[in-house]
């Protein structure tokens, strides 16, 4: 694939030219125009990444005739809608990167790094003219640090990954039932009693905000209220709608704990708390959650139900709207704009509140029609292990959206969401990358340029660059396999797991109960969404129309799989943690053997036992699914 086709996100306008700019030891950089720190630091990071990629010793500053010149007019503000566009002109003599703001320079440098090529004569950047700008101003990734704490290095490497694909909003989910992850000096029992000792100090918060800002990324904190509040009330039980005592919560799902919405002291507490948080998070937006309040504790409290009657609140939503409007007033006084999940959307909610749609596209449309700015997350839940194509096809503003041109302007963009019930610091990168790059392209590039063809090949190429940034989505896979096999060779287990994916959606938690402290070291945790081995086999079957060359390639894979269980069985016998995939391994041997017989005997028809074996192989085991069965069924059909 040529470097222009491989770019992610795809630039808006691109005009390739003959030739290219050679990258040699004399390659040097210069900044013109602005004198901001952001570009200077970005240039140093670019220089190091380019040097690491090429092994060359590069210069900064250098002669008047520099290899790369960066020109910009002003420092961009980290606010919604700031200009991020850039132009890039590469000739055989020089590359010139120009932008209105330093943010545009940052985005252009990432494009430039992706363009670096190599041939027999060395490294070079192909000649090209690019003019690029984002389609949507809000392009985010949410990471949940509340249910399972994510250390600083996890956040930083993922911020680097975000910058590489031009995402510009880090939505940081910091409080939930299972953990309160921010140090509060005003209300210290929040983090002391609600975090199990795992929280971010205020110094660390400022460090992450600064790290993100250097990469042109805004940080939006989320403090989930009134529901998902079990960690709040451990230290401050007077906030609760039900009597305590309250202990640390490890159960997952929708829990009952909810803040008391009728005490004036609740709002005084929240006003002081948010005033403190406003000093840590400079962005104008702040997320209040507002989701999944089942209202059980409100309805069980006579004092609260009497309040509802007195104010003619017919439903829980009416009472929560009262809470939301009080909170909106608090945040407005602090100079903040409120964001909430789509449960907060009611006709009475003032349009200044931003709606984040997660339960379906309906709330996105409804919110825009009511004059709310809206963000799409429905279809971008990357924790559900759905394919990259599924997310990629999900457009915040498709051509057939039932909105007027004016209403369409309220759609800000979208956010991928990485909830942490089923990820650890070891596995989180594999659930975020590289699929999130597909979402990033959907949010940056023009709708008509987002074609599924070649998507996975482009993601595989980008994945190498993400690895260079320290992301562990590839590196940790063999490491986890080595642990699972207990010193044996990992090849037989990898042959199986390369063809398996975690069950999608919420199936994993319905098949087996998990808590916030359940181990995440099983085969299902090592396996990755969009299993490459399964995808490559499916693609090969799609290509096959009786050609001997393709048949030979299929037979090679199937023969390996047909004898794989014989090699894996003794490893499973010595490794109790793997016994839950024993029958899955057996089924791989069975279906591979069936497929081989079909390829070698075109006239063969499947008997009832073989048909049953294929159906059995589709069933999940150990929360894993074998992802080649449908392709084998297709192969059987084709061969006839």
**What pLDDT does residue 62 have?**
55
**pLDDT band with cut points at 50, 70 and 90 for residue 31:** very high
Clarify whether 573 is annotated catalytic. no
Q: What angle do CA 541, 545, 547 make, to 5 degrees?
A: 100
**What does pTM read for this prediction?**
0.96
Rounded to whole angstroms, the Cα distance separating 328 from 324 reads 6
E strand or H helix at 174, and its extent?
Answer: strand 169-176
Rounded to whole angstroms, the Cα distance separating 134 from 394 reads 17
For the cut 80, the answer to whether the pLDDT of residue 297 exceeds it is yes
For the cut 80, the answer to whether the pLDDT of residue 35 exceeds it is no
For the cut 70, the answer to whether the pLDDT of residue 63 exceeds it is no
pLDDT tens-digit readout, 576-611? 999 999 999 999 999 999 999 988 887 778 899 999
Q: What percent of the chain has pLDDT over 90?
A: 91
Q: DSSP letters of 259-291?
A: B-SS-HHHHHHHHHHHHHHHHH--SSEEEEE--
CB-CB neighbours of 634 under 10 Å: 14
Instruction: Give SS3 for 301.
Output: coil
Domains of the chain, CATH where assigned: 3-132 (3.30.379.10), 138-468 (3.20.20.80), 476-639 (no CATH)
pLDDT tens-digit readout, 126-143? 999 999 999 999 999 999
Q: Exposed/middle/buried for 369, CB within 10 Å: 0-12, 13-18, 19+?
A: middle
pLDDT tens-digit readout, 237-294? 999 999 988 999 999 999 999 999 999 999 999 999 999 999 999 999 999 999 999 9
**pLDDT band with cut points at 50, 70 and 90 for residue 640:** low
- Which of 338, 416, 349, 409 shows the shortest CA–CA distance to 376? 416
Which of 292, 467, 580, 616 is the catalytic position? 292
């Amino acid at each position: 694939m040529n470097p222009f086709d491989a770019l992610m996100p795809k630039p808006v306008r691109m005009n390739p030219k003959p030739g290219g700019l050679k990258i040699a030891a004399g390659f040097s950089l210069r900044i013109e125009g602005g004198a901001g720190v952001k570009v200077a630091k970005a240039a140093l990071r670019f220089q190091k990444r380019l040097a690491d990629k090429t092994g060359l010793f590069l210069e900064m500053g250098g002669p008047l005739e520099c290899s790369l010149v960066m020109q910009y007019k002003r420092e961009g503000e980290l606010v919604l809608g700031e200009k991020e566009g850039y132009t890039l002109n590469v000739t055989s003599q020089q590359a010139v990167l120009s932008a209105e703001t330093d943010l545009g320079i940052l985005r252009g440098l990432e494009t430039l790094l992706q363009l670096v090529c190599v041939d027999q004569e060395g490294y070079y950047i192909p000649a090209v003219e690019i003019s690029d700008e984002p389609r949507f101003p809000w392009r985010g990734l949410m990471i949940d640090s509340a249910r399972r704490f994510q250390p600083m290095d996890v956040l930083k490497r993922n911020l680097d990954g975000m910058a590489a694909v031009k995402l510009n909003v880090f939505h940081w989910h910091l409080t939930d039932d299972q953990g309160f992850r921010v140090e509060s000096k005003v209300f210290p029992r929040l983090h002391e009693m609600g975090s199990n000792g795992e929280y971010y100090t205020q110094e660390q918060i400022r460090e992450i905000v600064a790290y993100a800002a250097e990469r042109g990324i805004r940080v939006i904190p989320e403090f989930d209220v009134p529901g998902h509040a079990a960690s709040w009330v451990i230290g401050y039980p007077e906030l609760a709608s039900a009597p305590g005592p309250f202990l640390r919560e490890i159960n997952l799902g929708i829990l009952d704990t909810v803040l008391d919405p009728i005490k004036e002291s609740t709002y005084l507490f929240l006003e002081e708390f948010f005033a403190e948080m406003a000093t840590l998070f400079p962005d104008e937006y702040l997320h209040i959650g507002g989701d999944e309040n089942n209202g059980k504790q409100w309805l069980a409290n006579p004092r609260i139900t009497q309040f509802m009657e007195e104010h003619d609140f017919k439903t829980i939503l009416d009472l929560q709207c009262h809470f939301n409007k009080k909170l909106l007033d608090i945040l407005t006084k602090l100079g903040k704009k409120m964001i909430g999940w789509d449960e907060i959307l009611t006709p009475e909610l003032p349009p200044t509140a931003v709606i984040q749609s997660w339960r379906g596209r309906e709330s996105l449309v409804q919110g825009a029609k009511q004059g709310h700015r809206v963000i799409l997350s429905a279809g971008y839940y990357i924790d559900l292990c759905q394919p990259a194509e599924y997310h990629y096809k999900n457009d915040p503003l498709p051509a057939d959206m039932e909105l007027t041109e004016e209403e369409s302007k309220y759609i800000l963009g979208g956010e991928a969401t990485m909830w942490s019930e089923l990820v650890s610091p070891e596995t989180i990168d594999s659930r975020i990358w590289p699929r999130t790059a597909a979402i990033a392209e959907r949010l940056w590039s023009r709708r008509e340029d987002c074609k599924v063809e070649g998507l996975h090949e482009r993601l595989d190429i980008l994945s190498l660059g993400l690895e260079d940034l320290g992301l562990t989505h590839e590196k940790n896979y063999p490491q986890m396999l080595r642990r699972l096999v207990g010193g044996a060779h990992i090849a037989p287990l990898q042959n199986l797991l390369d063809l398996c994916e975690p069950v999608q959606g919420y199936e994993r938690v319905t098949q087996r109960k998990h808590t916030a402290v359940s181990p995440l070291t099983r085969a299902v945790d090592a396996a990755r969404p969009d299993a490459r081995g399964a995808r490559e086999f499916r693609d090969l079957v799609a290509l096959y129309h009786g050609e001997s060359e393709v048949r030979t390639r299929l037979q090679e894979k199937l023969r390996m799989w047909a004898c794989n269980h014989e090699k894996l069985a003794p490893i499973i016998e010595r490794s109790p943690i793997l016994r839950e995939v024993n029958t899955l391994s057996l089924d791989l041997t069975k279906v591979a053997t069936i497929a081989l017989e079909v390829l070698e005997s075109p006239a063969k028809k499947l008997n009832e036992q073989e048909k049953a074996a294929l159906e059995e192989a589709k069933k999940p085991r150990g929360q894993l699914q074998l992802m080649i069965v449908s392709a084998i069924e297709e192969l059987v059909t084709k061969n006839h």
